[in-house]
Amino acid sequence: MRSLAIAALVLLAACPQKRVFQLSSDENNPYALKQTLDKRQLPAQPTPVNDGKQPRVFVVTAGSPRTIIAFDLASGNAMWKADADVQSRIAVGGDFIVTLEGSQLVARNQARGAVRWKKSVPGKFVGVAADGRRVYLVSHGSNGYALTSYEGGSGAQSWTADASGELGAPAAHGGVVYVPYLRQWLSILDGTNGKLLTRIRGIDEQISMLDVTSQRAYYGSKQGVFVLDEKSATGKRADATYGKVVIPAQLEGTTYGVDVYDPVQLMYTAAERKRVLWTTTTVNGQLQLPGEGYAIHYFRYVMGFDTKGEMTWAYSNPRVELVASDHTGTTIVGVATNGEIVALDPKDGSVRVKKSLGTTQPVLGATFDADGWTPSGQVEKSDTVAVLVSIARDRDARFDRVKELAVRKLAQIPGGEVTGHLLAVIADPRQPQKLKDTVVELLVERKDGNSLSVLTTQLQVQTDYIASTQPESLAAVAKGIAGLAGTQLDPKQVTAALAALRSHLEAPSTSNGELVQIIFAMTAIGGGVERPVLASHLLLYHADDNLGDDAAWQKAIVVALEKGGSTEREMLRYVAGDPRTRPKLAALIQDQLGD
């Protein structure tokens, strides 16, 4: 009789919990939510999921078949490697990992990599999660979607729960499992028996993103993120612990986490390379970032931002992209295509650790189990200016908009050295014109008096057909000098700049457009001493068929001289009355003088 009773209990546990996922159910219940939150068994401090509580990363590399590499971040050594036809993300449990290999769900011993058990997926694989003891699989079969739990040690099926609509990929920690339902609900189930503990309905934002750490659960969408707490029962952004960060337009496609409904993101994809990296706290019921703010991983780059969204530091990974990244709470860690692992200080981007997986195959993706990891070792300070310059000069056309972000940050840093770097971007023939135009605008806006000598040096190059030299970015340099109007400048540097500008004003190779910018520049910094030179320039070209008929040049030279005294005004009247003067130029002078 006892054996029959046990068998009956096993069958009962394996029976579908038909009414777990359905349209009509209790939701946003404050009491049930509090009971659920209290039920979770979460650590007092951030800690990895694995039983050894050691920081680890599980990496998938390319090949036929693919390979899983288990790596101990603390020791810097590979634990094991195993060939496996990995077709999904790796989920980490207490003493096991689990993933889709081929068409089967496969659990491996976490310490050695040996296969522990295999299970056929009942339908199409949607996603898998794990906690210390169990595996949670969402699949889509002929009878619809279902959530199934297996014991991590034996693979025995614990329970299953059917759904009357679409389920997203699950997440789990602390003895509960989270499952998004129909993009509107987040259902929370007891991991031991599959009982629905409570569910949250998003009233003014869909639920398509789900992420958990050892202590917190985040859910939301591309627009922003909720922290699961008692305030989640409201279902509304305004009344819940909700937050979002400023994502620069240049970093398009950046998200807060995996879209749990996107079948493409069931496996590691390029979406991992465009991710917000943050850790949060709750203060007085509000989501708050730490003092250093947050970071964004964008392909080869990791950029730090303060709480207002201003960039504070940048890191550029050498040569290859970072394919996966995570924020451990105190450290940003990433793994690159070539198997290099880097750990960054989120305060300033300094490199704390660099390690290598020792693989010759490209890395496809990785799952980190390193919550709370703070690596020790010598810190390699980050040179933000050098990193921004390397980004701005990157030859990869995919990152043209990122280059724009880099030069905008560079332009905020004072000093002639930065001005030189910006001018180098303009002079680089490989850079897109839109980026160059942006740099020109930034040079005008900088108003950094310390840059005048650098701009003047750039003007020293003259057109010399024998030496095969010609001035670079002449109009841009002149615009940069014009932007210094009203700033305090060294008189000696002003004299040198005016002399250099004059040499180009008088050079026959200078184009009409460049002449206009030179006139603006001389007027901006000359304080009046430039007017005799400009007067001579007008007298020389007032009858010229080309320049004399150029409307922009006419306006620039006349306005510059009209601002002078009686001497300049009389000279303008003389030019207007000269029968050789181009008619439109004469008319402009008369109009400007009011004659």
Output the domain CATH number for residue 533: 1.25.10
Q: What is the dihedral of CA 146, 147, 150, 152, to 10 degrees?
A: 140
| Distance separating alpha carbons of residues 351 and 344, to the nearest angstrom | 5
Structural domains of the chain, count? 2
What 3-state class would DSSP assign to 108? strand
| Distance separating alpha carbons of residues 426 and 413, to the nearest angstrom | 18
Phi and psi for 124 in degrees, rounded to 5? -85, 130
pLDDT given at position 559 = 93
Q: Answer yes or no: is 104 within a domain.
A: yes
Residues spanned by the domain of 223 = 13-42+87-266
Q: Answer yes or no: is 371 within a domain.
A: no
pLDDT given at position 19 = 61
Q: Answer yes or no: is 367 within a domain.
A: no
Burial of 545 (0-12, 13-18, 19+ CB in 10 A): exposed
CATH code: domain of residue 141: 2.130.10.10
pLDDT given at position 66 = 97
From 236, 266, 296, the end of a domain falls on: 266
Q: Answer yes or no: is 389 within a domain.
A: no
Neighbours of 11 (CB within 10 A): 9
Mean pLDDT of successive 10-residue segments in the chain (595 residues)? Answer: 44 52 93 98 97 98 97 96 98 98 98 98 97 97 96 97 96 98 97 97 96 97 96 96 96 96 95 95 87 95 96 94 97 98 96 94 98 88 92 91 95 91 89 91 89 90 75 88 93 95 93 95 94 94 92 94 90 93 93 84
pLDDT given at position 487 = 92
Q: Answer yes or no: is 61 within a domain.
A: no
| Distance separating alpha carbons of residues 104 and 128, to the nearest angstrom | 12
| Distance separating alpha carbons of residues 90 and 258, to the nearest angstrom | 14
Q: Answer yes or no: is 514 within a domain.
A: yes
Phi and psi for 149 in degrees, rounded to 5? -110, 140
pLDDT given at position 5 = 43
Q: How many residues can be counted in the chain?
A: 595
Q: Which tokens hold the place of 396?
A: 């990869």
Burial of 465 (0-12, 13-18, 19+ CB in 10 A): exposed
Burial of 326 (0-12, 13-18, 19+ CB in 10 A): buried
From 237, 266, 295, the end of a domain falls on: 266
